[in-house]
Structure 1
Amino acid sequence: MDRRLADVEDMIARVALGDRHAFEALYDATSAKLHAVCLSVLKDRPLAEETLQEVFIRVWKNADRYAANGLSPMTWLITIARNRSIDKLRAKKGRPGAAPAEMAEAVPSSAPGPEEMTIRNQQRRMLESCLDEIGSTQAKALRAVYLEGASYAELAQTAGAPINTVRSWLRRGLVQLKDCVSQ
């Protein structure tokens, strides 16, 4: 076994005895590699950093379980990091066996609520009422352009009027609409 691995094995043995300096040295010697393992599984840097801290807590608590058997101590550390990362990944994805419908129920709807729908309906009724009050030429022009998405040129062609006339209809209609809505 190469000297660096023997040093890591020695640090683990000293950590098992509660040696904080050995723990710091173990962290310094192995954290970059273990972080890379966590990151490769999780694909999320903040989550990988959090998981790495949990890995070292486990190492601190379970160092006495490491059996020096001539195999690389890094294998033991990498296994802890990999397993903890997989556990995090599973927890992040949701409960195992949860039906997609159950998971969908937990997602808040982006549809407007009852209060918002009531407000929108009132606004729509007010707009329709005001459009009915203004002249039919301006109301038709406003509906076509602002509610149906027609362009000025399309409206001019449909109405058989010059584009500047259509613009005048729209401008007068908007002024009348503004006056109606502000009452």
Structure 2
Amino acid sequence: MIDRVALGDEGAFAALYDAVAPRVLAVATRVLRDVAQAEEIAQEAMLDVWRSAPRYDASRGGVLSWVLTITHRRAVDRVRSEQAAGEREERAGVRDVQTPHDEVAEQVETRLEHAAVRDCLQSLSELQNEAIQLAYWKGYTYRQVAEVLAAPLGTIKARMRDGLIRLRDCLESRV
């Protein structure tokens, strides 16, 4: 049946849908614990099945397992998305409750942070400092930095990684 679905046979898809829809909804409901969201995820999962049927590989498992795996992944993605949204809202709420805005204190803090970054940049090798400044302050890509500094791309990536680690360590030691 999945072979016909892969060829775009709507009748075969309708038959597959009828056969697996209750289990798809059950998996989505078990993960999400919200019937409305589970119905939405079940619908999205079945749409994925329709779209990806040509990529189904029988050697990796049965059709039902494949469909339920798609459903489970979608449901878990939704849970993670909801958790992330909740955490963002919580952080925003905490920021709103914090002390009133003090412009002078904020300016002083910003200047101190800038001074710390400048000092820590001075602790880097000249090549690390150049590469990081080109990438982060001038907006160059790794490839452009490599061209400007006439160095291999891999070398630039290594310099920047090592420089950013040293920069992070230096800034953390100032906290």
* TM-score, normalised relative to structure 1: 0.48
Larger helix percent: 2
Which structure has the larger Rg over C-alpha atoms? 1
